[in-house]
Amino acid sequence: MKAWDVEIDIDILYQAVPQLAKVFRIIDKIGEGTFSSVYLGEAQMRDGRKEMFALKHLIPTSHPTRIAAELQCLTVAGGREHVMGVTYCFRKEDHVVIVMPYMEHQAIVDIIGSLSYEEVRLYIYHLLKALRHIHQFGIIHRDIKPNNFLYNRHSKMYALVDFGLAQGTADTQVELLKVVRQRPSQKGGGSTGKQDTTQRSKAPPRIPPKTTTTASTSLPHPPRQSTTLPPSSSSSSSTTTSSSASRKALDLTGLRKVPRPVFGERNLNSCTPAPSTTKQPVVKTELLKLGKTEDPATRRCSSASRGPLPVRTQSSSQKPQRTVLQGLTCSCYLTDRVCNICMSRKQQVAPRAGTPGFRAPEVLTKCPNQGTAIDVWSAGVILLSLLSGRYPLFKASDDLIALTQIMTIRGSRETIQAAKAFGKAVVCSRDLPRQDLRTLCETLRGRRPAPGEVTPLPEANKDSATTCHPKIQDDTPTHHPAKGPLKQPKDEASERPGSLYSALPNPQEHSGNTETARLAKPSSGTDCKVKEDERGWDRVPDEAYNLLDRLLDLNPATRITAAQALQHPLFKDL
C-alpha cells in the first residue's frame, strides 16, 4: 500500500504535467530530494511490452539553463559507461519531468555491512569508469556520492545519475555547461542537510518559459500530447519493490542499530563546548585565504555565527584585528571571540556544490580553480567509507567541519601544505598526524583493536567560539550491540579509556537522516570476524590502500585522475 502523501504527490504531478497520464502509470515515489522528486512509472511500449521508467520531476523554481544543462549532460554522455541515459523529457509550463530508464538499486546504507571486498572493488572500478567517461566530455559532476551512483548488487549494474550540479571544465564539450560555468549554481547549498531548506526558500524567481535566456531555448520541447514513447533500448526491470513507505519503515527499525558515522558533529547552534565525559581532543583551525576572490569577512563570520566550529576562514592579506564589512566594523578578527556584528550576520550563501562530507579540500577552501579532480576525491571518500564499513564516514553539515575531519585522517600538516599549493592558507591549532589508511580502515571495521590513548590535547577554551571536538568513533557496529544514540554521553564506547575514536553523533540528526548506515543485526565478535573473512576482508591487498591514498591526494594537481586510476594495479585483472 502506498503512503497517502505519495498518492497525493502523484496526483499533483499528473495535474501539473497531464500528458504524463497518457504514457505512464505512476506507481510510486522512489526518491525525494530538495531539487526533485523521482517517481517510478510504467509505460506500455508499442510492441506491447511494459517498461519501467524513473520520472524525475524537477522543482519548478529550477533555472531553465540549469535544467537544460542537466539534460544535455545526460544526452551527451549518458546511456553508456555506467552513466544514466535519458529517454524523454516532458514539460508543461514550469514543470519539467526527465524520463530515464528505471534501474532498480540498493542504497549503500542498507548493504554496506554485508558487502564483500570484491563487491567494493568492482563498485569503485565502475564508478571510476563512469567518471573517466564524463570527464572526457569536460563534465564535472560535483555531487559524487553513493546516492548518485546507483548500484544493483544482484544484476551487477551501475549508473551515475544526477547532473543537477554539474559544471563544465574550461574545454567542456557540453555547450550548456559553458553557460552554467559562469553562473552560480542555484543548487548551491549542498544536496543534503539544513542548508537546502534555506536554498529552496530563497530560490530565485523562475524565469517564465517564454522569456528564457538564449541557452534555455535549446531545452528539448517534447510534444505536448505525446502518447507513446520511442522504444527504449534500456533494459527493463520487472521488479517494482522499491517503496518509499518500506524505506521509511526500514529507517525507523534500523535506527537503534545505526552505526554512527565515524565523524559526527555537535549541535552547531550551541556555542557551549560539548560536555566532556572523556578527555576530548580540541582542535582549532583557521583557514587564511591568500587569494582575493571572495570576501573573507563574510566567509569567516558565516562560520563563526554557527557556533563552535573547527575551522575559521580568514584572510591573511588583510590587516589583523579589524575587518570592515558592509559598513560595519568587526573587532573579532583573528581572535577567539565572535563579536555581535558577526553574530548577527546572515549565513553565507555561496555558489558551491555537493555534499559536505564528499567535498574535496579545494572545494571546502573555496579554491576558484576546481576541476574534474573534485569528483575523484569524492570517489576516494566513497572508497574509504566502503573499506571501513562506515557510511557516511564524514558527516559534516559545514565545510569547515568537513575540512577538520579530513585533516584528522590525512594529517593537518599535509593539508596545510596542499592548501598552500592551491593558494589557501590553513592554520590548525594542533598537529593532527596522518593516519595509516589500512590501520584506520581495519580499526573501523573492528578487525584491529583501537589504538592506545592519544596524547592529551590542550584544554578547550570554554569561551571560544572556534573550539571544536573532531572525533572518530571506535564502536564498530557489528561488535557493539545497538546502543541508543540518545545515550551518547554515557555510551560505553566513548567512556572506554584509551580509545582514539570517540563517537559524537547528534542523535536528533539520526532520526531524520536517511543517509545513515545501518548494518546487519549485531552478532558476536567471532561470528562477525568469520563472516567478514568470508567476504574477503582479511585479504584486502595493499593496492587498495595505495589507490585510496592516490584518490585522497589533498592536492588536486597531483591527485590521480579517473583514467589513471583505472590503470592502477588494483584493477589489473579487469
Active site members: 143
Residue 56 found at the interface with ligand ADP (CB under 6 A): yes
Q: How far is the CB of 64 from Mg ion (least distance, A)?
A: 20
Task: Return the closest-CA partner of residue 432 out of 518, 521, 554.
Answer: 554
503 binds, among Zn ion, ligand ADP, Mg ion, none (CB under 5 to 8 A by kind): none
Residue 164 found at the interface with ligand ADP (CB under 6 A): yes
Residue 297 found at the interface with Zn ion (CB under 5 A): no
**Distance from C-alpha of 158 to C-alpha of 424, rounded to nearest angstrom:** 36
CB 357 within 8 A of CB 363: no
Measured CA distances, 86 to 100, 105, 216 (Å): 5, 17, 18
Q: How far is the CB of 24 from ligand ADP (least distance, A)?
A: 14
Nearer to ligand ADP, 105 or 410 (CB): 105
Residue 79 found at the interface with ligand ADP (CB under 6 A): no
What value, to the nearest 5°, has the Cα angle with vertex 491 and ends 487 and 493? 150
Of 3-11, 157-165, 169-177, 508-516, which part binds ligand ADP (CB under 6 A)? 157-165
Nearer to Mg ion, 196 or 294 (CB): 196
Nearer to Zn ion, 342 or 547 (CB): 342
Helix, strand, coil fractions of the chain, as percent rounded to 5: 35, 15, 50
Of 54-62, 257-265, 340-348, 409-417, which part binds Zn ion (CB under 5 A)? 340-348
- Alpha carbon of residue 415 to chain centroid: 20
Backbone angles phi, psi at 412, to 5 degrees: -75, -40
**Distance from C-alpha of 212 to C-alpha of 98, rounded to nearest angstrom:** 19
Looking up cell 594529517 gives 411
Residue 265 found at the interface with Mg ion (CB under 5 A): no
Task: Return the closest-CA partner of residue 186 out of 60, 341, 51.
Answer: 60
Determine which residue in the list 162, 509, 515, 532 makes contact with Mg ion, applying CB under 5 A: 162
Residue 78 found at the interface with ligand ADP (CB under 6 A): no
CA-only gyration radius of the chain, Å: 24
Q: What track of x and - describes contact with ligand ADP for positions 176 through 215 (by CB under 6 A)? A: ---------------x------------------------
84 binds, among ligand ADP, Mg ion, Zn ion, none (CB under 5 to 8 A by kind): ligand ADP
Nearer to Zn ion, 84 or 332 (CB): 332
Residue 148 found at the interface with Mg ion (CB under 5 A): yes
CB 287 within 8 A of CB 328: no
Measured CA distances, 164 to 177, 216, 358, 379 (Å): 11, 15, 16, 18
Nearer to ligand ADP, 148 or 466 (CB): 148
Name residues whose C-beta falls within 8 Å of residue 328's C-beta, 6 or more positions apart in sequence: 341
Rule CB under 6 A: which of 439-478 touch ligand ADP? none
Measured CA distances, 11 to 25, 26, 352 (Å): 11, 9, 34
> Which grid coordinates belong to 327?
559598513
Q: Which alpha helices (H) appear in 98-219, and where do they start and end?
A: 108-111, 117-136, 175-181, 194-201
Give the count of residues interacting with Zn ion (CB under 5 A). Answer: 4
Residue 332 found at the interface with Zn ion (CB under 5 A): yes
Residue 330 found at the interface with Zn ion (CB under 5 A): yes
Of 50-58, 190-198, 332-340, 533-541, which part binds Zn ion (CB under 5 A)? 332-340
102 binds, among ligand ADP, Zn ion, Mg ion, none (CB under 5 to 8 A by kind): ligand ADP
**Distance from C-alpha of 185 to C-alpha of 376, rounded to nearest angstrom:** 20
Residue 339 found at the interface with Zn ion (CB under 5 A): yes
Nearer to Zn ion, 110 or 286 (CB): 286
Nearer to ligand ADP, 79 or 423 (CB): 79
Residue 342 found at the interface with Zn ion (CB under 5 A): yes
> Which grid coordinates belong to 514?
536517511
What value, to the nearest 5°, has the Cα angle with vertex 501 and ends 125 and 503? 95
Of 119-127, 157-165, 381-389, 398-406, which part binds Mg ion (CB under 5 A)? 157-165
Determine which residue in the list 2, 16, 31, 290 makes contact with ligand ADP, applying CB under 6 A: 31
Task: Return the closest-CA partner of residue 181 out of 351, 415, 416.
Answer: 351
Residue 6 found at the interface with ligand ADP (CB under 6 A): no
Determine which residue in the list 10, 97, 100, 262 makes contact with ligand ADP, applying CB under 6 A: 100
**Distance from C-alpha of 256 to C-alpha of 483, rounded to nearest angstrom:** 6
Name residues whose C-beta falls within 8 Å of residue 254's C-beta, 6 or more positions apart in sequence: 518
SS3 527: helix
263 binds, among Mg ion, Zn ion, ligand ADP, none (CB under 5 to 8 A by kind): none
Residue 465 carries which side chain, given as an amino acid letter? A
Residue 483 found at the interface with ligand ADP (CB under 6 A): no
What value, to the nearest 5°, has the Cα angle with vertex 551 and ends 379 and 147? 5
Of 149-157, 337-345, 370-378, 403-411, which part binds Zn ion (CB under 5 A)? 337-345
Angle, helices 437-444/373-388, rounded to nearest 10 degrees: 50
Q: How far is the CB of 496 from Zn ion (least distance, A)?
A: 39
Residue 161 found at the interface with ligand ADP (CB under 6 A): yes
Residues that bind ligand ADP (CB under 6 A): 30-31, 33, 35-36, 38, 54, 56, 84, 100-103, 147-148, 150, 161-162, 164, 191
What are the residues binding Mg ion (CB under 5 A)?
Answer: 148, 162
The binding site for Zn ion (CB under 5 A) comprises 330, 332, 339, 342
